[in-house]
Structures are given as C-alpha cells and as structure tokens.
Amino acid sequence: MKKIDLHIHTVPSISDNQFFFSLNSLQDYVEKLELDCIAVTNHNLFDKTQFEYISNQLKIKVFPGIEIDLEAGHILLISENEDLTDFDSKCKKITELIKTKTSYISYEQLIDVFPLLSKYLLIPHYDKKPNIKVETLAKLGDNIFCGEVTSIRKFKSCISETDKLVPVIFSDCRFVEDMNTFPTRQTYVDAEDDSLTAIKGCLFDKNKVYLSKEEGNDFFQATDDGIVLSTGLNVVIGERSTGKTYTLEKIISGFENVKYIEQFSLLQNNEEKFKELVTTRHSLVSENYLKEFKDVIYEVNEVDIKSNNQNVEKYIESLKKFASESYNLDSFSKCKLYNETKFEIDDLENLKELITATQLLLDNLEYKTIINKHVQEVNLKELLLDLIINYKSKYVKNLEKGFINDLTERVKDDLKIRSSSTTIEELDFHKIQLDKIKVDKFNELVKIIQKEKIIDSKEIRGFKVVAKTKNFTGASQLQKKSKSKLAFSDAFTNYDKPYKYLVSLNNVAIEETDYYKYFVDIEYKTLNKHGFPVSGGERSEFNLLHEISDALKHDILMIDEPESSFDNIFLKNEVNELIKEISKEIPVIIVTHNSTIGASIKPNYLLYTQKEVDGDNIKYNVYFGHPMSKKLKNAEGKEILNIDILFNCLEAGEEAYYERKQKAYEILKDRT
C-alpha cells in the first residue's frame, strides 16, 4: 500500500497568489504524514532545477508534473522521473501558450505538445473547480480513468457510483515557512512499488484506491497528528476541559466545507428573532412567488401617466391654435410634411422569442423523441425558416421606416424654422392608451396579490412552516422591511392605490430593484405537530432539526453537546434518527456527555479526549476505536479501557450506574 499526494505546488505562477516555497515544510509534511511518493505540479510551468533539488533532498519518490489550464478546466499531467530534459522542453511550450490568468490551451494544442498522452498519468479536476468539461473528457478518451475530488463525501460518491471515474484526493498545497498544520488530503493505492506504471495500474481500479491504510474507505485521517475518523458517525466523549472543543477546532481547520453547530447556538427564546431567522431561511419562497411581479414593477414604473396627460393637453392646445390660424397659413406650414406623423416601427421581440423557442425544440436532444412524436422535425425546420424570413422582411421594413422617419423629421424641422405658424405637438396615441391599460391591469394585479392566502407549506421533521401573504398595515412595517430609518409615511397614504403608491416609492431612497417587496408582506409561521405556533423550547428544537437537515450541503457535520439545549426524548426520537441518516452520506462528529446520544445512537467510531498537565505544559490526548472494542488507542499506540471511559463520561461511574439501574429503576417499575 502506497500513500500518495500528486498535487503539490512549489512555484507561484500567474494563477497563484505570491508565496515563498519552503523545502523544510515539505520535508516535515512528507515525514509527518508518512507519504511514499509525491508529484510537483505547478500551474502551467515546470522548474527543472528546483525539481531536481527537491527530488534529491527528499527520501521518497518525486514525480515531475504540471497542472495545465485545459479548455477552461484544470488537469494534472504527471511523468515518470526519467527524461527530465524532454519533459522540461514540453512544459516550456505550455508556459509560452498560457500567458494570462484567464487563458488556456485547447485539446489540439495539448496533443501538439504531448503527442503520446498514454505515456503520462492524466488526472483532471473532476468534482473540483475548475473542473474539466465533459466534452474535453470525451476527447481525452481512454487516457482518463481517474479524477481529483475535493472531499471525503465526493470520494465515497465516486467509489459507489459505477459511471463515475476512480476518485483521488490530494492536498493541492503550497508549502511555506512555519506551517503549523498540514493537510490530510491524500490517497492510498494498493501498489507493490512506487513507479508511475504501478500507480497508474491501481488508478484503473476502484478496488485498489482507499482513504485509509488499514480500514479502506470507511475511515480517514482527520488531523496531521494522527486522529482517525469514520466516514460515518463519530461520537467524541471526555470529561470537562479535556480538549473536546480543541479537537473539533483542529479537525475543522483541515477542511473547508464544514457545518459546525456550536453548543447553545440554537437556543431561541426571542420570538421576533426566530421569525426573522425563519424568514431569511425561506426567503427563496418569497422571491419565487414575486418573481414575475418584480418584472411587472419594472415595466409599470416606466409609465408616467402625469406626463402623458400633460402631453395630451399640449397636443389639444396646439391643435386648437393651429386650427384657429388655418385661414392665415404661410407656404411652409401649408406643406403636407409640416404636420406629418411618423411611421410606426414594428416590435420584433415576440418574433425573436418564437425563433429562439423553435430553435430550442430543434436543438434539444434529451427530449427529441417526444418532440418529434407530436411535431415532425421537417415541420419545425419549415416553421423556423418562415419565421426567419418574416423577421428579416419586417426588419428591413423597419429600417426603411426609420430612414423615412428621420428624413421627414429633418424636413419638418427645416419647415418649422422658416414658418411662423403653430406646430401641432407630436403625440403617440397608441403608447398613451397602452400605458393607461398597463396601469389599470397593474392596479387589478396588485389587489389580487394582496389578498391573504397561503402560498407555501413545508413539513420539517414534525414541524410545519407556512408562508402566507398579508397586507402591510402601517409605514413602520415598511420601514422595518427596509432595515433602515427611511420615512415611508407619505408613500403609505397611497398603499390602497397601487400605481400612485408605486410613484410614491420613487420619492423614498430605496433601490428600484426592491420596490416589489413593499406591496405585499409574506409572513412565515412555524407550527408544531398539533398545528399551534411553536413554544420557546420547540423553536430551539426546530432550529436544530433545520440545521441538521441543511448539513447535506456540506462535507462534514459537527455538533457540540446538543444535550445542553434539548431533552433526551427529543434527542432520541427525533435527532438520533436524522443524524444516522445523514452519516450515510457525510462524516458526522458529535461531542456529548449524554448516554442518550453517546450510547443509544450506536456510532461507528468513538473518540475520547484526555488532558495531561506536566508543569506549565498541557497535552491533549485523543484515543479512538470502535465503540465495542475493549480498548481505545491514541496515535502513539497508547491504550485505555473503553468500559472505564463509558462509565465515567456517560454515567456517574460504574458503581453509580449499577446502583441506579438495580435500585432506583426497579422501584419505579409498575409491578401491578
């Protein structure tokens, strides 16, 4: 079994932040994590001189490599440590091709530089950003058989799914001076030697790739000082002030996407704050419900009824004045073009959308069979052609109309300069009438939206979150909504007149993009299993269940002493079951003093923290092992009896446990 890390950076490139490489840190990393071989893979470059120095200084196998920006993704290309001169010259071509942070090479350019890809080990960013595109993977063909992922969860997912590549997980680390901790992202391969050929042979087979040396993919090293965790459910126990929180924080520091529920963090006694929290969590419901209304607001806000009315008045006055002067028109004002109206330009947006929709139906491969069952492809092509021809015809006519309109306008301007007669004001009657219809429809729409109704209802582990629309009842509510001290009093006087209210909002210093939020309030109520609003204790229970349910968006879940905030019945009946389900997907770590969680949850792995004080020095020991093991071990091989730990941490000692079990509980039993 070989422990490998084939993604290490030693030279900053245009794709990196500046750093100064430390060989000492790399040596410490290799020794502390007991690595068998590594690869140096800098971004789009290979430093031959530095590589040879590193290779000579380390006591393990070091492979030359390069991380290439390929078609907007990243891929590791690793070579055997042999013809370095040839590899160096090829890498220099890559460096010349990629001169900026955003540039990359094509597949064809890669082949041109490295014509025999099968000679190398290629590892694309697979479930890791920036990942290689599916189309690029297809071009690379059989040269790709494994892919780099970022987490234990993604590693396990790739292992279990037959259509996924063989996963590998590496540090992707830059080694600088005075590193206090090292990453634990490495991969074990069942290789007999440390040659590239042997490693490649293992990376073809999911049965030869592991997260741990002895426990396969059920365990992984969580910290650089040897703490091992199950990829399932872990329980951490220990007496007060023995380093449990210290251990959690050390584990957290080695991972990026961790859900950490701290002790007492979910206690919720303030009803208003709880409402705000629930509203924030479910804000997407509000956004989805008002999404179309938001677009309507933008359009109606462009309508200026006051200006339209003023323009109509101006038009009537100019028309009346022109009529009164008709007996005395000069030669310029008698010209037909003097008061000529413009050609109306056709709106082509609907036609463009039809063309796009037809093209979408033609291009869709996933549902082509269903589409062609109802509409033959030849008919779609004919429809698309007719729509395009129609669009082009209208587009040309619009150009012609636009040209005539411009020409007419210039002639009219010249005539007006020379004439002393009154000019009839320009007025777009169609737009004015359309604006009026828009406002009427808007007023109707807002009234419909403001009617009280339930728009969403979600069940969450025995609780229900109900979203309901309701009207704002005062300016203070609007101010609270804005989270500011802005004055909404004047605007609110028009709240029952939607268009006037919208115009009033223009006088309040809020963004137009937020106007839609001030027409209807969406209230969220959290109900218990009996349909009543939750109590203070139930609010905390709901918070815990929600936070745990949300954990699957993360790579690891950590919970610190949930029994500090919740009763045993709730923990046993609601929390334990949910945690067990989540632990099938991601590693879960729980710190507890409580037998309801510590024992009845039946964890996959048990950790015990112990503090040693030697003068001014404090050392935190962590023992770990299977819950049913007689002894637990620490990273140094020291052992401790499991039964003593369980009695002392989850009970009040062995004597107290048996006394309580045999006397107190027996007395309370119903003998009738």
Distance between CA atoms of 657 and 672, rounded to whole angstroms? Answer: 26
**Residue 655's pLDDT band (cuts 50, 70, 90):** very low
Question: Given a cut of 70, is residue 598 above it in pLDDT?
Answer: no
CA 229-230-233 angle, to 5 degrees, is 115
Query: Alpha helices of 161-290 — where are they, by DSSP H?
Result: 196-202, 244-253, 271-281, 283-289
When the pLDDT of each residue in the chain is averaged and rounded to a whole number, the result is: 87
Give the SS3 label for residue 147. strand
- In terms of pLDDT, which residue wins out, 672 or 400? 400
Quote the pLDDT of residue 656.
43
Closest listed residue to residue 81, CA positions, set 63, 57, 98: 63
Q: How far apart are CA 348 and CA 451, in angstroms?
A: 36
Select the more confidently predicted residue: 350 or 543. Answer: 350
Burial of 393 (0-12, 13-18, 19+ CB in 10 A): exposed
Give the Cα separation of 382 and 63 in Å (integer). 59
pLDDT beyond 60 at 182: yes
- The pLDDT-based confidence of 564 (bands split at 50, 70, 90) is low
Residue 38 bridge partners (DSSP): 5, 62
Torsion of CA 28, 589, 4, 214, to 10 degrees: 110
Kindly state the average pLDDT of the residues 245-262.
Answer: 87
Delimit the domains of the chain by residue range: 2-221, 236-257+554-668, 272-299+445-527, 326-421
Cα separation of 669 and 672, whole Å? 9
| Percent of the chain scoring above 90 in pLDDT | 53
Q: For residue 665, what pLDDT is reported?
A: 44
Q: Two tokens at 658? A: 């048996």
> What's the Cα-to-Cα distance from 16 to each of 43, 67, 366, rounded to whole Å?
8, 12, 39
- What pLDDT band is residue 670 in, cutting at 50, 70 and 90? low
Higher pLDDT, 655 or 445: 445
Q: Is pLDDT of 599 > 80?
A: no
Using the predicted structure, report yes or no on whether residue 662 has a pLDDT greater than 70.
no
pLDDT reading at 321 higher than 60:
yes
357-374 confidence digits (pLDDT tens): 999 999 888 888 899 999
- Average pLDDT of 118-133? 94
Q: Residue 562: count other Cβ atoms within 10 Å of its Cβ.
A: 23
Inform me whether the pLDDT recorded for 159 exceeds 60: yes
> Residue 556 has what pLDDT?
93
DSSP 8-class letter at 132? P
Residues 293, 445 contacting (CB under 8 angstroms): yes
Q: How far is CA 493 from CA 236, 336, 481, 488, 505, in A?
A: 59, 50, 17, 9, 11
**Quick one: CA dihedral 129, 134, 135, 141, positive or negative?**
positive
User: Is 133:72 a contact under the CB 8 Å cutoff?
Assistant: yes
Among 119-133, 427-441, 610-624, which stretch is predicted with the lowest mean pLDDT?
610-624
- Which SS3 state, helix, strand or coil, does residue 42 take? strand
Cβ neighbourhood burial of 1 (10 Å; 0-12, 13-18, 19+): middle
Alpha-helical segments (H) within 194-282: 196-202, 244-253, 271-281
pLDDT at 594 over 70: no
Q: What is the mean pLDDT of residues 561-570?
A: 58
| CATH number for region 2-221 | 3.20.20.140
Mean pLDDT of 262-287: 69
CA 263-572-524 angle, 5° bins? 65
- Tell me the average pLDDT across 344-349: 88
5 or 660, which is more confident?
5
**pLDDT of 664:** 42
pLDDT tens digits along 486-511? 999 999 999 999 999 999 999 998 99
Q: Is the pLDDT of residue 660 over 70?
A: no
Rounded to whole angstroms, how far apart are CA atoms 182 and 98? 30
Whether 52 contacts 23, CB under 8 Å: no
Q: What is the pLDDT of residue 537?
A: 74
pLDDT of residue 573: 63
- Residues 224-243 have pLDDT tens digits of 999 999 999 998 988 878 88
Residues 189/262, Cβ–Cβ less than 8 Å:
no
> Which tens digit of pLDDT belongs to each residue from 75-107?
999 999 989 999 999 999 999 999 999 999 999
Q: Write out pLDDT tens, residues 397-449.
A: 999 989 998 888 888 888 878 777 777 788 888 889 999 999 999 999 999 99
Instruction: Say if CB 506 and CB 288 are below 8 A apart.
Output: no
For the segment 441-469, the average pLDDT, to the nearest whole number, is 89
The confidence score (pLDDT) of residue 277 equals 67
Lookup result for tokens 């590589």: 51
CA distance 251 to 222: 6
Please check the confidence at residue 652 and state whether its pLDDT lies above 50. Answer: no
C-alpha span between 670 and 672 (Å, rounded): 6
pLDDT of residue 63: 98
